Chain A
Amino acid sequence: MNNKVDAIGESLLRRFAGATSRRSMISKLGAVMVAAPVFPLLPVSRANAQKPDRSVEAKTAFGRNAQTRDDTKCDYWRYCAIDGALCSCCGGGVSSCPAGAQPSPVSWVGTCINPDQGKAYLIAYRDCCGKPYCGQCGCDNTDRATQLYVPQLNNNVIWCFGTSSMEYHCSTAVLVGAAK
């Protein structure tokens, strides 16, 4: 488990290092923040970590109804904790910003279950910034989302740190890696 956490954290650090040459402090801090909550987020108990319960009875309402076909709908599986406009409805994609918008190097995270395979994945909800609110496909999913005192699991924060502007445009759902 810890190795997985470390691997994800390291992977994130490498990605941030490659993508954000001049924002070392912010991006490193952000990477730590994204990586840190992996363990408590997992929808399984510590004792049962080897055999996660993916039965219908163990899934949240979102997890039971999630689909894998249409990423412009709020019930698309990766969006289990997204809040805001879907970039896939704004000229961008599930993991890409629309033209002219800047991806924030830090984000909040969710752990979502792919209903086709039953596996859980760590999803980074990377806000796209620097343009007025897109206004299309507004969603507010709240699986395992907590309050501001756990900011990396809070989907209300405008996650536009390290961008030239903090204007919020839309949100992506970048698959970071397997959570289990």
Chain B
Amino acid sequence: MTFPGCTWHVLLKTALLIGVALPIAAAEAQTTETPPMPPPPPANVDLKPEEAYTQKMLPPQPQWAYVRGGGGGGGVRIFDGATGKMRGEVDTSQRGDMAIDPASKYYYVADTIWTKSDRGTRQDFVAVYDTTELKLQVEIPIPGRIIIGGEKHNFILSDDGKTAYVYNYSPASSVNVVDLVKRKFVRAIELPGCASLMPNPVGFSALCSDGTMATIDTTGTKPVTTHGPHFFPATGDPIFSNFTYDKTKKQVTFVSYTGLVYQATMGATPTVAQPFSIQQAAGVRPGETTPLDVNWLPGGRGLMALHAPSGQLYVLMHKGEYWSQNEPGQEIWVLDLASHKVVKRHPLKAEISNIEVTQDAKPLLFINDKDGTTYVLDAQTMEEKRKIEKTGGGLILTADVGTPAMAAAATASTDGSGAN
């Protein structure tokens, strides 16, 4: 296929070459521009008839953000943090969940539709889209999934990208396992009393209403579920279900309503370190559950983001009383997970509900408000780089393609996908 006047092939291949040869530089040097449009012809030249065509796009880029519509509607819009421009949209319903293939070849969407719009026969599936043409490759039927907005851990992938886990609530609790290589539903695993899934080398883990973590080992012929010790009060000081996961360290970081930070290391028997107070890490007294006690507390929807290479956790904080957990953030607190110190506090001029950070060497923060305006900040200096309106006010995702290893893997696999 040829695009008149378009340098798309050259741009892409150049980017791929840089990515393979100089993976560290690639994180910064990869172009985040989509193919440029042909320049306008000179005024004295007759305009020629055109043929309509459909653009292709680059695979996931280090400084792209994927913004969900939130309450406003469907679709996950893709914005380029370097330019503020929209690059495309992944097809989802309002409450569909998207995950990005770690090899950058596919976007996966766990979704639910009915044959007659909001009635008729219900259909639950994982849809597979390639990342350069956004064409639907296949729909993998599944028995069901939870319908909810604002949750990051109902649809997760294994670290190798070969397996998807889809949380279902009917209202009995279970997890549907999907083989993404064979593109087949494998099995449903009952998971009473637990939700909020996280990858585990032996399968997956989940948080439970009895304050434990369940681990489901799927390596054998039959899944085996075990529960670790009680480590948090699930109704007294709940852990936010939008936690972060560092696949390099196999480490999950949780924050509770009062501001306790728990870190769990995944494995057959996950271990949870003694929690510490994010307020104390900032020189502020710890959060309390007592009414009338006004303090800085974590809150929002997608309220925390981890820049895995540096171990910096970005948390939306607001001043309020206990049970104000959905309140939007008034400040961003930057917690250094290694030293347990809050190294920066940044006041916000808008009420921010979601935050995400890119994973490259010069990370960008994406934050949005309920009106659907997204602000792009330099994550190190907190300088506002741009403001993008009408992005959607829902959860934000970024692709894990910023670290050198991931950038190399992504470009190598894209090379093999034959995008041209």
Contact = CB atoms under 8 A, between A and B. Distances in A.
A26 B171 contact: yes
A61 B321 contact: yes
B259 to A, nearest CB: 15
B209 A150 contact: yes
Interface in B297-333: 320-326
A143 B291 CA distance: 11
Nearest to A159: B171
Given A29-B172, A147-B240, A142 B195 contact: no
A18 B83 CA distance: 60
Nearest to B292: A57
A151 B173 contact: yes
A144 B325 CA distance: 10
Interface string B170-196: 111100000000000000000001111
Report the contact-size class of chain B (Cβ under 8 Å from the partner).
35 or more
A38 to B, nearest CB: 12
Nearest to B237: A146
A167 B118 contact: yes
A178 interface: no
Contact of A157 (B112, B169, B324): B169
**Chain A interface main SS type:** loop
Interface in A86-135: 106, 130-133
Nearest to B112: A166
B95 A158 contact: yes
Nearest to B321: A61
A30 interface: yes
B234 interface: yes
Given A60-B323, A61-B324, A149 B148 contact: no
Interface string B207-236: 111000000000000000000000000110
Interface string B231-266: 000110011110000000000000000000000000
B120 to A, nearest CB: 9
Nearest to A62: B323
A147 B291 contact: no
A149 B194 contact: yes
Given A57-B291, A142-B326, A149 B206 contact: yes
Given A61-B291, A142-B323, A149 B171 contact: no
Contacts of B173: 151
A151 B171 contact: yes
17 contacts: A26-B171, A29-B172, A30-B171, A61-B320, A61-B323, A106-B171, A147-B234, A147-B238, A147-B241, A149-B193, A149-B234, A151-B171, A156-B151, A157-B147, A160-B147, A165-B114, A167-B118
| A-B CB proximity, top 5 nearest | A167-B118, A146-B238, A147-B241, A148-B195, A149-B195
Interface of A: 26, 29-30, 33, 37, 40-41, 56-64, 106, 130-133, 140, 142-151, 153, 156-158, 160-161, 164-167
